[in-house]
Amino acid sequence: MVQEAVTKKDQSMVMLFFGIFFATFQSAGIWGNLITSTVLSRGEEVKNDTNISACGVNYCEASLGDIENLKRPEEWRVRIMLSIFAGVSIFAALPIIIFLDPLERFDYDGEDTSSTKKKTNACSLALSSLKQMTDPRQALLSVLIFYSGIYQGFFDADFTKANIY
């Protein structure tokens, strides 16, 4: 009965972490669009000459040559966005680097009472990950994950291109 309570508590904690992770992950696109919009529209006069005749269903890439806001932004704006996104990425990695405990692998020699700690290094972890890829189930799962990522990238790019000006 105690084991069931501990298991339920562990499961709810894992679900909490998954919820936080996916909420952050899914909001990343929104934050990226807000940062990009702020940097690109900074200091410009906003004209309200919206022409929605080429949006959504009526989207045709061949007729986009005369649309003014599809031109590449100035180089300094691109560099500002690159700096902001690189800084946010480094800032996001800092808590992981600072607060994550080092990985340890426990090897048992015969009995459970005599255990020795052996630190793992990055090379051994990379080799064990590559060894895991020899399992056919893992390889098939990796193909599915890769396909899903490519699909989402193309879908997001085409949707943004066709519906947002």
Which pLDDT score, from 0 to 100, does residue 128 have? 84
Torsion of CA 139, 16, 12, 9, to 10 degrees: 110
Which pLDDT score, from 0 to 100, does residue 114 have? 43
Q: What are the distances in angstroms from CA 132 to CA 125, 127, 129, 135, 139? A: 11, 9, 5, 6, 9
Q: What is the DSSP letter of 109?
A: -
116: left (phi over 0), alpha (psi -120 to 50) or beta: beta
Burial class (CB in 10 A: 0-12, 13-18, 19+), 47: exposed
Candidates 99, 103, 108; CA nearest to 120 is: 103
Which pLDDT score, from 0 to 100, does residue 5 have? 58
Which pLDDT score, from 0 to 100, does residue 51 have? 64
Which pLDDT score, from 0 to 100, does residue 119 have? 54
Please give the average pLDDT of every successive group of 10 residues along the chain, which has 165 residues.
Answer: 65 88 88 88 70 65 62 88 94 88 54 49 80 88 88 78 59
Predicted model pTM: 0.56
Which pLDDT score, from 0 to 100, does residue 113 have? 43
Handedness of CA 129, 132, 136, 142 (dihedral sign): negative
Which pLDDT score, from 0 to 100, does residue 58 have? 67
Q: How many residues does this entry show for the chain?
A: 165
Which pLDDT score, from 0 to 100, does residue 107 have? 47
Q: What are the distances in angstroms from CA 30 to CA 33, 50, 147? A: 5, 22, 23
The token pair at 42 is: 């900074």
Which pLDDT score, from 0 to 100, does residue 56 have? 64
